[in-house]
């Protein structure tokens, strides 16, 4: 391989690729510090200011730019993301547990679950809306129809993550616990759960962030606005740098979730290593 020539070229290419991925967000961040309220959503920066950040929190005087309608939507999104996270993680752990032994029809069940993450959100949303309207005759709400369609999307992620974890799992520790007369519930709590904790944590991260940012499923399955719907609503009218500032804040929120995840994950890996070392010494 002429890797001496090719490798540096590819390295430069990857740098450009990362620029392509992050460049737009970088520009958006710069423009969120535009002067307000006259400064528009484009260059040049008239004067650096935090006006639009204060604008989001209602700390500026009233101007022609209406405040972003995100307060209530934010609360809904956070509660919805939490509900989705708990439900899909529980479903994911249970289903993956079932898959540890091959059972009749496991192939079909596998595809049924995975179907949830590859079906486009628009179709899930449309279908759930049709069913609720024409079969159950119930209204669409963020906590009912939107919630179930979010779980349809996030449960497969949790399931696949848990399946990957359980595949590498040594079943003999559980059997040892059982044979010592520990009840299955207690064995799960004391033996199984600590071992599958990294998977549970990853499932929770997937479910929470995907639900928090979920847009296409919610659009047709909820009558009220969640955060992404509120953001989408502002696209139709003239945009102002306040939406950029909001984008920076919500991205920082996502990043901090990732950071918390990374820290917890690091701790659990460290703990697992410690136990392994102790066992070896013992």
Partner 1 sequence: MAVPAKTSSTTAWWLIAPGVIWMTLFLVIPILMIVYVSFWTQTTFKIESTLTLASWQQFFASDTYITSLFTTVRIWLIVLIATLVIGYPTALYVGLFVKNKTLSTILLVICVIPFWTSFLIRVLAWRPMLGKEGAINIILQKFGIISAPIEALLFTELSVIIGMTQIYCVFMVGPIAFMLGRIDPNIIEASRDLGAGFWRIFRKIIFPLSLPGVVVGAIFVSVMVLGEFATASALSGRKVNLLGNIIVTQVGSLKWALASVVGVILTIVMGIVVALFLRIVDLRREL
What residues between 77 and 96 interact with partner 1 by CB under 8 A? Answer: 91-92, 94-95
Choice from 209, 218, 222, 226 touching partner 1 (CB under 8 A): 209
Task: Check residue 113 for interaction with partner 1 (CB under 8 A).
Answer: yes
Q: Is 101 in the site for partner 1 (CB under 8 A)?
A: yes
CB 32 within 8 A of CB 53: yes
Residue 155 sits in the site that holds partner 1 (CB under 8 A): yes
Minimum gap (Å) between residue 111 Cβ and partner 1 = 10
Q: Minimum distance between the CB of residue 282 and partner 1, rounded to whole angstroms?
A: 25
Contact assessment for residue 195 and residue 34, using Cβ atoms and an 8 Å cutoff: no
Choosing from 56, 70, 73, 129, the residue that interacts with partner 1 (CB under 8 A) is: 129
- Termini Cα distance of the chain: 49
Angle between helices 241-281 and 193-213 (to 10 degrees): 170
Of 97, 169, 198, 272, the one binding partner 1 by CB under 8 A: 97
- 61 versus 239: smaller Cβ distance to partner 1: 239
The reply to whether 161 sits near partner 1 by the rule CB under 8 A is no
Q: Which is nearer to partner 1, 82 or 215 (CB)?
A: 215
Report the site for partner 1 in 28-57 (rule: CB under 8 A): 28, 31, 41-43
- With contacts defined by CB under 8 A, name the span among 51-59, 194-202, 225-233, 271-279 that binds partner 1: 225-233
Q: How many residues in the shown chain lie near partner 1 by CB under 8 A? A: 84
Interface residue with partner 1, options 49, 54, 82, 127 (CB under 8 A): 127
Longest Cα–Cα distance in the chain? 74
Question: Which listed residue (89, 219, 222, 245) binds partner 1 by CB under 8 A?
Answer: 219
Q: Own/partner pairs for 24-28, CB < 8 Å, 24+ apart? A: 25/247, 25/251, 28/244, 28/247, 28/248
Nearer to partner 1, 60 or 128 (CB): 128
Q: State the nearest-atom distance from the C-beta of 69 to partner 1, in Å.
A: 15
CA distances from 191 to 70, 175, 255, 281 (A): 43, 10, 32, 20
CB neighbours of residue 106 within 10 Å: 12
Question: Is the N-terminal amide bond of 37 cis, ω within 30° of 0?
Answer: yes
**Restricting to residues 182-201, which ones interact with partner 1 according to CB under 8 A?**
none
Please, are residues 145 and 222 in contact by the beta-carbon 8 Å criterion?
A: yes
Of 69, 120, 194, 266, the one binding partner 1 (CB under 8 A) is: 120
Q: Which of 179, 185, 237, 280 binds partner 1 (CB under 8 A)?
A: 179
Q: Buried b / exposed e across 8-34, counting CB within 10 Å, b at 16+?
A: eeeeeeeeeeeeeeeeeeeebbebbbb
């Amino acid at each position: 391989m002429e890797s001496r020539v090719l490798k540096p070229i590819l390295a430069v290419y990857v740098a450009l690729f990362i620029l392509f991925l992050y460049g737009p967000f970088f520009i958006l961040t710069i423009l969120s510090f535009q002067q307000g309220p006259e400064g528009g959503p484009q260059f040049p920066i008239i004067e650096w200011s935090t006006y639009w950040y204060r604008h989001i929190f209602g700390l500026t005087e009233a101007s022609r730019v209406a405040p972003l309608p995100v307060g209530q939507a934010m609360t809904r999104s956070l509660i919805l993301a939490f509900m989705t996270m708990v439900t899909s993680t529980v479903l994911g752990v249970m289903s993956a547990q079932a898959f540890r032994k091959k059972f009749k029809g496991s192939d079909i069940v596998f595809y049924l679950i995975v179907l949830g993450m590859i079906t486009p959100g628009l179709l899930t949303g449309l279908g759930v809306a049709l069913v609720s309207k024409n079969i159950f005759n119930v209204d669409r709400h963020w906590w009912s129809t939107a919630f179930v369609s979010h779980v349809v999307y996030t449960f497969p992620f949790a399931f696949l993550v848990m399946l990957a974890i359980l595949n590498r799992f040594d079943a003999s520790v559980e059997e040892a616990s059982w044979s010592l007369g520990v009840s299955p519930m207690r064995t799960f709590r004391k033996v199984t759960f600590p071992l599958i904790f990294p998977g549970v944590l990853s499932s929770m991260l997937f479910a929470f962030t995907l639900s928090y940012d979920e847009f296409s499923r919610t659009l047709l399955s909820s009558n009220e606005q969640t955060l992404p719907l509120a953001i989408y609503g502002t696209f139709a009218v003239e945009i102002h740098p306040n939406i950029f500032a909001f984008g920076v804040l919500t991205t920082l929120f996502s990043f901090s979730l990732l950071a918390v995840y990374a820290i917890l994950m690091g701790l659990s890996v460290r703990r697992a290593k410690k136990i392994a070392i102790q066992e070896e010494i013992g």
